[in-house]
Amino acid sequence: MDACTLVSVLIVLGVLLVLGLAVFGGLRTSSPRRRFEYCPSCDATLPDRDDQCPECGLDLLGKLADRLERIRLARLEIRQLEDEGNSTRKLQAV
């Protein structure tokens, strides 16, 4: 194999490597990052890198945790609207 062929093969391999990393997002060896600071179910403070709440056992990577977090955020939004002077009656009309 001459030098030109070897360089061509290395370039093709390099391009394939870059494309593979772009498509698959690189080599990920760690678990997905948890996005909760507090448990959406029991409000316990969550240590880093836990997949389950140490207090209530909620699976923090599951659908239930996502749904509970959306409910928690909705309650927070309602409280903020009430604090801004919007009455509960106005909110119930929506």
pLDDT digits (tens, 9 = 90+) for 36-56: 888 999 989 988 878 899 999
pLDDT at res. 60? 92
Q: DSSP letter at 60?
A: T
Q: How far apart are CA 44 and CA 57, in angstroms?
A: 11
Domain-wise residue ranges, the chain: 1-30, 31-94
> To the nearest whole number, what is the mean pLDDT of the chain?
82
